[in-house]
Structure 1
Amino acid sequence: MTEDPDVVSRRIARESLDRDDPTGWFEDLYAAAADGDAVVPWDRGTAHQLLVEWINESEPDGSGKTALIVGAGTGWDAELVVDRGYDTTAFDISPSAIETAHRNHPDSKVHYLVADLFHPPADWHGAFDLIVEIYTVQALPIALQADAIKQVTSLVAPGGTLLVIAAARPDGQPDADVQGPPWPLTRATIQSFTAPDLRLIQLEQAPSPSDPTIHRWRAEYLRD
């Protein structure tokens, strides 16, 4: 492919949004990528660097604990987490993404499955000791982000940790000026992951290693 992957993904997303299907473009993109007709821009062939850094700094011990990877994509983040000992579930709304994850990691201990963040299985509520959310909320139109955030936070178990990694945007930038995807998160949006029993315990903003003009949030929350 010679066309910019970001341009291709935005075109696929726009076609889906024009059909009033704001999440259908994930399957369209992953299916096109599986056929060699597109490249998933965020599929790095390795775990996200900010997740790697958090794992190295926190050194979590997942023995006897559960983890959930939101928007698993092709599985690289999930494989890093499962290697820390967590009983790891990783889901994506795209069947093609999950099929690719199985192909990439045929001997994986991760439970890969197709699921919809807006309609998660009932037994996931408050069930996970670690939840990793990387780029899923920002890939949704701004009007859907609050509901997506509510769903993510509802899955954190008592005493559990939520890690959110997302592109950042200035608080003063009007929503109408953001032509996604992605729709990067403001500081206020990052803070909206909190709840009376879900506290923000660490928040960092740093430039992207590949493009210093783009900043990323890394936020860690703890459920009491």
Structure 2
Amino acid sequence: MGRKGPRTEVLGEDFIERRAKARERLDAFDPHKQPGGTEADPKRREWFETVYSLAEDDPAAVPWAHLEPRPLLEDWLARHPIAGLRALDVGCGLGDNAEALAHAGARVVAFDLVERAVQWARERFPESDVDYRAADLFDAPKEWRDAFDFVHELYTLQALPKALLPDAALALASFVAPGGTLLVISRARDADEEIGGPPWPLAKEDIEALAVDGLRLVALEDIPAKDVVGRHWRAEFRREAGA
């Protein structure tokens, strides 16, 4: 399933080395790796903004930038047609996953908390039909409520403290139109597994708790590390047409 390994054949050894050094620098000042960090930057806005500020246009310095769509999304799209659907990409970063949705035929809105991320995505894909916007998951435009047939979230939830997950679940659910689908992809852990974080891989109970506000969990895949880099969840939720 998907493509395996760190994909150095795509990113290159130099890119991987720059990423490792950047990750070390970022971890050193991440407030959530320090005592009291949760109170200092509860929604991690300052940290995300600092990541892009320090990147200085080097994608290797953005830990979640892979310069191509994520394999678990590509694999899902190959088996689930979304052509013609109105889609939302949550936490779009540099835009690769949003472009994959558009390539599959969806009409895509993609947003990120950080304005620089949105600008960067637009610069990378100047001819794109994707509507890139800066927005806050917890304070999204009101017109997005019940507005999307397909909502895609990858790695945003695992970057949030556990205390924010209930509000994040409600926010994600609010975007899904009647009859629509929410697809969530995240690193996975066992419920009793010790995690340092951030990021914080999600437990099964965290995934199941996303079934709120009329959403129903219809598929949950536990994808082992032998198939991808690190164990992952891929979860599909659906809102009934009349909900």
**TM norm. shorter chain > 0.5:** yes
Aligned equivalent of 1:222 = 238
1:184 aligns with 2:201: yes
Q: Give the letter for the 1:27 counterpart.
A: E
Contact 1:69 1:133 in 2 (8 A): yes
Q: Give the letter for the 1:153 counterpart.
A: A
Contact 2:90 2:112 in 1 (8 A): yes
Q: Which runs of 5+ in 2 are unaligned?
A: 1-17
Within the candidate set 27, 47, 50, 1:10 is matched to 27
How far the C-alpha of 1:62 sits from its partner, in A, is 2.4
1:149 aligns with 2:165: no
Contact 1:74 1:100 in 2 (8 A): yes
Contact 1:12 1:28 in 2 (8 A): no
Matched positions, count: 218
Alpha carbons of 1:12 and 1:207: their partners in 2 closer, same or farther (altered >3 Å)? farther
1:62 aligns with 2:62: no
> Matched residues in 2 for 1:57 and 1:74: separation?
24
Aligned equivalent of 1:164 = 184
Contact 1:133 1:165 in 2 (8 A): yes
More moved, 150-159 vs 190-199: 190-199
Aligned equivalent of 1:31 = 53
Instruction: State TM-score, norm by structure 1.
Output: 0.89
Instruction: State TM-score, norm by structure 2.
Output: 0.82
Per-residue CA distance 1:27-59 (angstroms, 9 max, x = gap):
11122123449611221110011000000122x
Runs of 4 or more above 6 Å deviation? none
Alpha carbons of 1:14 and 1:194: their partners in 2 closer, same or farther (altered >3 Å)? same
Q: Which runs of 5+ in 1 are unaligned?
A: none
> Matched residues in 2 for 1:54 and 1:202: separation?
12
Percent of aligned pairs sharing the same letter: 39
How far the C-alpha of 1:85 sits from its partner, in A, is 1.8
How far the C-alpha of 1:74 sits from its partner, in A, is 0.3
SS at structure 2 position matched to 1:4: helix
| 1:1-224 correspondence runs (5 A) | 1=18, 3-14=20-31, 17=37, 20-21=40-41, 22-36=44-58, 39-58=61-80, 60-63=81-84, 65-173=85-193, 177-195=194-212, 197-208=214-225, 214-224=230-240
